[in-house]
Amino acid sequence: MVELIRDNPIAAVIVLCEFGFWALVVAGLAARYLLRLRRLSAALLVAVPLVDVVLVVAVLLDLHRGSPATAIHGLAAVYLGFSVAFGPALVRWADRHFAHRFAGGPKPHRPAKGSPERYRAVWQEWYRVVAAAAIASVTLLGMVVTVAGPEQEAALWWWIGRVWMVVGIWFLAGPAFERRPSEPERTTAPTR
């Protein structure tokens, strides 16, 4: 892993962006719940998407300089899609845990299997996967159109197919077999 990061600057940028994402989230929530600095908290949490901007700029510059498109460039686009699609949900998840741990908030819970809440959650998660794949695909297509040379294009097109294969696998592993909860029976009061 260390050699991969050392030999490929985009791999290092991805690792730094992941670290930066969580560092901003934790710092923002610590400012909110531990230091009671709401404005600082808001500023730190608003800065989270800037991590994605750094990643996109780094990848575009790397490809523009003529670096061969590799799996790492495709992974950067997938990371971007995941970060944009799942980032807000991850921040909300972390916020609930911070609020519970440091501010007396309610204990976070997982929806019970077979419940309407669980059914909705599984489908919402899959919709996020679709959004992540769409964002990654548009990013990859943008790379192909704007900065990739003919020798770089094949590696980027390969990732688009793989991203949508993951969407299909996720569908089969998740919502395809999630049973829709039955509607509760309505009882009517007896009429006189």
Over its length of 192 residues, how does the chain's per-residue pLDDT go in tens digits? 677 667 788 888 988 999 999 999 999 999 999 999 999 999 999 999 999 989 988 988 888 887 877 878 888 899 999 999 999 999 999 999 999 999 999 999 888 888 899 999 999 999 999 999 999 999 999 888 887 777 778 888 889 999 999 999 999 998 998 888 876 544 455 555
The whole-angstrom separation of Cα 163 and Cα 183 is 35
pLDDT of residue 72: 85
- Domain segments of the chain: what residues? 2-177
pLDDT of residue 188: 53
Query: How many DSSP H helices and E strands does the chain contain?
Result: 7, 0
DSSP 8-state class, residue 35: S
- Return the exposure string of 79-108: e unless at least 16 CB atoms fall within 10 Å of the residue's CB, then b: bbbbbbbbbeeebeebbeebbeeeeeeeee
The whole-angstrom separation of Cα 70 and Cα 72 is 5
Asked whether the beta carbons of 2 and 63 are under 8 A apart, the reply is no
pLDDT of residue 62: 86
Residue at 45: amino acid letter: L
Asked whether the beta carbons of 92 and 175 are under 8 A apart, the reply is no
DSSP 8-state class, residue 177: G
The whole-angstrom separation of Cα 126 and Cα 185 is 29
Asked whether the beta carbons of 89 and 132 are under 8 A apart, the reply is no
Retrieve residue 121's tokens. Answer: 């959650």
pLDDT of residue 184: 58
pLDDT of residue 156: 85
pLDDT of residue 185: 45
